Amino acid sequence: MTVLVLQKASVPVQEPKALIKSDKIHPWSLAVTEDGKKQKSQGLEIHDVLMIFISLNVNGLRAALCKGMADFFAASQPDFILLQEIKVDVPMDLALPEYSSEWNFSGQSGYAGTAILFKRKPLKVKQDFYDTNFNGEGRLITLEYPSFFVVNVYVPNSQGPLKRWYYRLDWDSALLDHLSHLCLQKPVLVGGDFNVAHHDRDIYPENTKNIEKQPGFREEERGAFDALLELGFIDTFRFLRADEGGAYTWWSGKYENRRNNRGRRIDYFLVSKSLETKIQESSIFSNVTISDHAPIKLMIEL
């Protein structure tokens, strides 16, 4: 297998506000034995330990590496890293040796694709849906662990030809079916780029005028997101910050939109309602400029 190696650049890591620190040991870190010696926990299942997830639409993995992505994650040390829109067709050396990874390529050079990095080997890995009509663009990876699922998702953008709009709606339905199946088994954590601003407060105020007809804010797309919440998922950011405005995860490159914070919140971490009391923090690294998207962070006890 060919592995590409790029030299990384340095980027300062800025923590999101209200970051909660914890000294809890997570299940695959070092455990202390009776004689005081540290040893590997050998995959023991330990519940209610703080775990960190970070998701980022990199808008091209090669570019993100050149902008310091590896340094950012090395300093942040999340347990899981969810990447979308990687735009590569072979695995790359991300200079993060403590992680293992799974990749789902689009089959089209320079287009879409997802990857997920993790410190603990999952029980199972599933790429894409069981319905093959919606596969081939590398938009979904599911990891199964003994007590939960982790799903990395990159929902299609509905702009472009009309047939792409219908594809998006069908893809949303396929995602709902997939998550419904998982929820019957154990709690689910879903992160990634959903390509929809759910409410008016998730898009900058000046852009709400006549926004209903724009991709990513159409009634049907928002309705599909509603369906996920009705299934039993919680938008972790809104769970903790119900009315906060000016919190966005993506900015167009035009008209200095990022500098002026004219953006949209289209990246999310959703979790099963059964995990509601376990959510510790859900934040946005709005000042980290690796991509036109900001990394988002979830801290949760699992």
Q: Is 292 tagged catalytic?
A: no
CA distances from 164 to 134, 217, 228, 257 (A): 12, 15, 21, 26
Q: For residue 31, how far is the Cα from the chain centroid?
A: 29
Cα radius of gyration rounded to whole Å, the chain: 19
Matching residue, tokens 């990022």:
258
Question: From CA 70, how far away is CA 218, in angstroms rounded?
Answer: 35
Q: Is 267 tagged catalytic?
A: no
User: Which residues are bridge partners to 152 per DSSP?
Assistant: 141, 191
Query: Strands (DSSP E) along the chain, which ranges?
Result: 4-5, 30-32, 38-40, 50-57, 80-84, 92-93, 100-104, 114-118, 124-127, 140-145, 148-154, 188-193, 233-235, 250-251, 263-264, 267-272, 279-284, 296-301
Active-site residue (options: 154, 204, 248, 268):
154
Active-site residue (options: 71, 79, 128, 193):
193
Which residues have a catalytic role annotated? 154, 193
